[in-house]
Chain A
Amino acid sequence: MSVQERSDRKSGIMKRSRRDVLRRGSVLAGSALAGAVLPESAHAAGEADKNLPPNIPEWMKSPGADVGSELYGTPSLFEKKVVRNVPKDLKQYTSASCRTPLQDLDGIITPNGLFYERHHGGIPTIDPAEHRLLIHGLVERPLILTMDDVRRFPSQSRIHFIECSGNPAYDAIYGKTASDLVGLVSCAEWTGVPLKTVLEEAGLKPQAKWVIAEGADAAALTRSIPIEKCLDDAMLVYSQNGERLRPAQGYPLRVLLPGFEGNMNVKWLRRLHATDEPAYSREETSKYTDSMPDGKARQFTFYMEAKSIITRPSGTHKIEKGFNEITGIAWSGHGRIVGVEVSVDEGRSWAPAQLQAPVLTRALTRFRFPWYWDGEPAVIMSRATDESGYVQPTFAELTKVRGLNSFYHNNAILPWRVATSGEVSNANVKA
């Protein structure tokens, strides 16, 4: 044992005993204690290195926090910056959105506390014991279900993304971070009952072509779902990543329409109205319709088309010369991602990235691309292709067809610029 090690151990024992004194000695005056402790920590040689090799880190020298000291666990103190990205200075926050910090996350599952939010009348507080789901309209048996009833049906769990249709708006492609750009997408494992099962329980009549879903929020938000989707992969979900839905995600019950724009995945679901035509509600006429240059607006634009983004390195990151793994996420409302290509020369050439299993339909897919950066300025970007053969377009290709006022469904390629300093920033620059 070296002299240094011995002295480390010795001081460790001393520290522990002092800490015990601290714990027990609540009656002692703070100033006297501070006087006793401070000189030691202040004089320690190489304060910055004290937990680094060859020294023994402080956190090994005394027991850590007790088992169960947090009844519901939270992230490390050192991850406090990984939080939702809430826009500043909005006129109001009742009908607004905030984003997932995509650049800080790995894998394909979004932690529940970081799932993006978009509400139209705030987040209601609903006691599940008082929540009811009414199914009526073109059904044989109008039904009322309690949450206990809903949970009695045969259940399913599936992993799907939900994405806001304005992610980003066509005039909002200049954000600093990956989150600023496409942070209105998140992905989770959802558990619930197929919508088909519940509709069949009520006895859907053949004239039913649409089901209007309504939330129990202050917006009583209403969207119409085509019957084909209702009878395909639509679900009523009550759990997200293993636990009950968070209030901001529709607790106690929401609609899940894999691949369809986020707004249709009605939260706090209280009513399903089977009808022969859509509601033509405010949310599917004056909002969530896509204005074209000829003045017409596309309506019932349900699907989120294939999209991808490099999340690391991305805006505000700084990289080192040499090896860098490029990684990001890709997804499509039309099914599985079959390929992601990466360009490190501003789109002149492209090479396939590796897709991380599992590659699931209508779920985020993680891609990786090994890269040796030579220190020269570079523009890096990714391009997704889905199983329908659809290839993610450039912003120029997209706007050539749709103009700049369609607001929703911008799935353009997003380029990052790497400066000689290694600093990464958005390569879309406002003209």
Chain B
Amino acid sequence: MSKLETSAALLLAAVISSAAHAESSKYGIGRLATDREVAGWDIDIGRDGRGLPPGGGSVQDGRKLFEEKCASCHGEKAEGGIGDRLVGGQGTLTSAKPVKTVGSFWPYAPTLFDYIRRAMPMNAPQSLSNQEVYALSAYILNLNGLVPDNATLDAKSLAEIKMPNRDGFVPDPRPDVKNEACSKDCKN
């Protein structure tokens, strides 16, 4: 197809798609999103790993990246600083001072990929490659004793990790506190 023909075909496709949208919807406002547009913006990773991209990353690579890009906020050993503590705390959730970290609290490992990719590092979010995000996820899981030193994680292996606190969440039972509307001689 010549350039002109391609443009004409694209224009026609756009007209048809807009017309299709206008006919089937109530207001005909907006335009249809292309698959490419959706793929570029949809960065959601499900708890079961759905949406995880191809590729993978190793604990070893993650360690280097962490030192370069994360340690200044999260601490050399991910013990916390300006940023959250990421390690330890397992077994503390029923104590008077629960320590909530990736290892002790996060229920799903793929969420780590989702969050690092969308929001970290804080000064340059969405700057890491998928490989780098896999590597950092692997390293943080390794620091928490959840994968071995020589591990390389990809979509399948990341989704297969069972986080210690996976079953630690319950639905909202409120209203759970009952107060009497006492007006005289109240105990308080």
Contacts and interface: CB of A to CB of B under 8 A. Distances in A.
B107 A285 contact: yes
A349 B27 contact: no
- Range of interface residues on B (Cβ < 8 Å): 35 or more
B42 A136 contact: yes
Interface stretch (B60-68, B143-151, B168-176): B168-176
Given A141-B24, A153-B27, A291 B111 contact: no
Contacts of B93: 291, 295
Instruction: Give the 6 A-B residue pairs with the shortest CB-CB distance, closest first.
Output: A347-B188, A295-B93, A295-B94, A220-B118, A393-B179, A282-B115
A152 B26 CA distance: 12
Given A299-B169, A301-B172, A222 B24 contact: no
A201 interface: yes
Given A141-B32, A401-B176, A218 B119 contact: yes
Interface string A362-393: 00000000000000000000010100101111
Interface of B: 20-21, 24-27, 29-33, 37-38, 41-44, 46-47, 81-82, 93-94, 96-98, 100, 102, 105-108, 111, 114-115, 118-119, 122, 125-126, 168-186, 188
A121 B81 CA distance: 17
A299 B32 CA distance: 35
Contacts of B178: 391, 393, 397
A282 B171 contact: no
Nearest to B167: A296
Interface string A140-167: 1111111001001100000000000000
A121 B119 contact: yes
- Range of interface residues on A (Cβ < 8 Å): 35 or more
Interface stretch (A70-78, A272-280, A353-361): A272-280
A144 B178 CA distance: 46
Contacts of B26: 200-201
A280 B108 CA distance: 8
A305 interface: yes
A289 interface: yes
A91 interface: yes
A272 to B, nearest CB: 11
Contacts, number: 194
Contacts of A281: 111, 114-115
Interface of A: 91-92, 94-95, 120-121, 134-136, 140-146, 149, 152-153, 200-203, 212, 214, 218-222, 270-271, 273, 275, 277, 279-282, 285-286, 289, 291-303, 305, 341, 343, 346-351, 383, 385, 388, 390-394, 397-398, 400-402, 404-405, 409
Nearest to A151: B29
Nearest to A91: B82
Contact of A220 (B25, B30, B125): B125
Contact of A295 (B25, B168, B179): B168
B121 to A, nearest CB: 10
A95 B169 CA distance: 25
Given A214-B44, A282-B119, 9 more contacts: A91-B81, A141-B25, A144-B31, A277-B47, A285-B105, A285-B108, A291-B98, A393-B177, A394-B179
A357 B24 CA distance: 44
B29 A346 contact: no
